[in-house]
Amino acid sequence: DAKTTQPPSMDCAEGRAANLPCNHSTISGNEYVYWYRQIHSQGPQYIIHGLKNNETNEMASLIITEDRKSSTLILPHATLRDTAVYYCIVTFNNNDMRFGAGTRLTVKP
Amino acid sequence: DAGITQSPRHKVTETGTPVTLRCHQTENHRYMYWYRQDPGHGLRLIHYSYGVKDTDKGEVSDGYSVSRSKTEDFLLTLESATSSQTSVYFCAISEEGIYAADTQYFGPGTRLTVL
């Protein structure tokens, strides 16, 4: 079973920031937080990952709370092409990536 | 995008027939994975490989076998397909597998229908 809890769906207005939450209250010290997304029926796409510190790349920012029990993925300026299912995954082992149901983000014009 | 191709992209077969799906990579990555995706279950790991001829089972390995005779190719075989194996199958690769700070890159998927 996935070790994370995500809302099943969210909406966001085009051009606004999309903030996707993830709860992982049972995370252990050596587990990373990963975010992937899946657009329509394509293969999942890596977005970002982190251990303790906040991370930023060209796609998104990842904010991890100090107690590491939750995190937020931020898409700073959402576009229609960001409409997808977003998966939050907690793992210490790349051979054990448990994808749950994710959050279906719909970006609206 | 990582150089990963899957073949075939779509296949319809009958119950009891053998089926082999192929994943080919051009990245020379050590680790390769096979997942299946079904409604209500997300992606689930079937088998993975950590080198030529080195494979291990994942979460849902029953009914599947794999082989890796070359770094670039990872084959998934359904010896006798069943309707419960109707699914979308994704291949993934990663440069290293034992450290979590390594990302997986996914192929485009194969949609398999077993009648």
Kindly write down the DSSP assignment for every residue of B5-21, as one continuous string: EEE-SEEEE-TT--EEE
Residue B55's closest CA among B37, B30, B87? Answer: B30
- Kindly determine whether residue B42 and residue A95, on different chains, have CB atoms separated by under 8 Å: no
Q: What share of chain B is helix, strand, coil (3-state, %, to 5)?
A: 5, 55, 40
Among partner residues A30, A44, A96, which is closest to B43 by beta-carbon distance?
A44
Quick check: B99 contacting A, CB < 8 Å?
yes
Closest partner CB to B43 (pick from A32, A91, A99): A99
State the count of interchain CB pairs (< 8 A) between A and B. Answer: 69
Q: Between A34, A45, A99, which is nearest B42 by CB?
A: A99
Which of these ranges, A93-97, B89-93, B105-109, has the smallest mean pLDDT?
Answer: A93-97
Task: Decide the pairing of beta strands A103-108 and A9-13.
Answer: parallel
Interface check for A41 against chain B (CB to CB < 8 A): the answer is: yes
Q: What is the pLDDT of residues A67-78, one digit of tens each?
A: 999 999 999 999
Residue B90: what pLDDT?
A: 97
Query: Is B25 part of the contact surface with chain A (CB cutoff 8 Å)?
Result: no
What DSSP element (H or E) covers A104? Answer: strand A103-108
Neighbours of A76 (CB within 10 A): 13
How many CB atoms lie under 10 A from the CB of residue A3?
17
- Distance (Å) from the C-alpha of residue B103 to the closest C-alpha of chain A? 7
Whether the Cβ atoms of residue A13 and residue A106 lie closer than 8 Å to each other: no
Q: Cβ–Cβ contacts within 10 Å for residue A22, how many?
A: 25
Mean pLDDT of chain A: 92
Residue of A nearest to B34 (CA): A95
Mean local confidence (pLDDT), A32-40: 93
